[in-house]
Amino acid sequence: MPKERSDAADAMDTVIYKRGHKKTIDLFSSETAFALSEIMFFLEDRLSPLVISRAKGEIKERVLDSYCMMDSIIGWETKTNNWAAVCGGSIGAAAMYLMEDYTVLAPVIYRVMGAIESFLSGYGDDGICKEGLNYWNYGFGFFVCFSELLKQRTCGKIDLMDDVKVENIALFQQRVILCKERAISFSDSKGILKMAIGHTHHLKERFDDVRVPDKKYRERFDDDSSYRWSRMIRNFIWSKDIPADLQLEECDYYFEDSQWFLSRILLKPAE
């Protein structure tokens, strides 16, 4: 007997039917737009003009034009979870790579910033990601990518990372590690530390209080079943010769906004 469909699945089918699959902007379509636009930025002089033309056309039709022409808010734009950062940040990144005219780019970034604000509102001032460590890597990772591209595009005038709340979010990974590679398991996160080494090293360069786990806990190429370009390439370009400096200590943490209590007790080896 087939499983019952969720209301969310039915709603998505309705959106796809009304808008057409090419006009539906979801996680994968926005991520793909970001990935292709960035690949073209790096390799445009080495790729076939036909490939460049096709890729730019598909990004424009499926994502950028669709996003600009929509006269209503997309559901994920007001979400307070990873969707707002992944979709919004990816669209913003693709726009910055492909739109040279600031008068065309500015309205897109302005709208994307609404989604980014929604994403950040899902965190309290304590910086806890209630979706767990996997989704911190995912959603906050795309936020960092977008933020740094925006900082570069605006010559440092807009720096979303220069914020106390964002700094607290950056400390989430080290705060929820229990021992070795074990982390708090919450939501559908697996509770296993898979450090995105480029992401972590970049946060270390931005915030002095970030601590870096041992590199043996870094994620491998095939740990991400979707092989997301943005994170993989930054594991290369953001990875630095930064020594591990995370020393786990016994502690009691109470995160007031998220109402999480963490008590870390380190077991001593038997004598």
pLDDT digits (tens, 9 = 90+) for 13-33: 555 445 566 778 999 999 999
Closest by CA to 235, choosing from 212, 218, 223, 222, is 218
How crowded is residue 20: how many other Cβ atoms within 10 Å of its Cβ?
A: 11
Q: Which two tokens stand for residue 2?
A: 């087939």
Between residues 182 and 97, the one the model is more confident about: 97
DSSP 3-state of 262: strand
pLDDT higher than threshold 60 for residue 7: no
| Cα four-point dihedral sign 158, 168, 196, 237 | positive
The per-residue pLDDT for 9 is: 52
Lowest mean pLDDT among 6-10, 180-184, 230-234: 6-10
User: In angstroms, rounded to a whole number, what is the distance separating the alpha carbons of residues 102 and 271?
Assistant: 67
Q: Which residue has the higher pLDDT, 83 or 249?
A: 83
Q: What is the pLDDT of residue 72?
A: 76
The predicted-structure confidence for 30-76, as pLDDT tens digits, reads as follows: 999 999 999 999 999 999 999 999 999 999 999 999 999 877 789 99
pLDDT given for residue 13 in this prediction = 52
Q: Are 228 and 31 in contact (CB under 8 A)?
A: yes
> Residue 1's pLDDT is what?
38
**pLDDT on residue 2:** 41
Mean pLDDT (the chain) is 89
Determine the Cα–Cα distance for residues 140 and 32; give it in Å rounded to an integer.
18
pLDDT for 268:
66
Provide the residue count of the chain.
271
* Burial class of residue 176 (count of CB atoms within 10 Å of its CB; 0-12, 13-18, 19+): buried
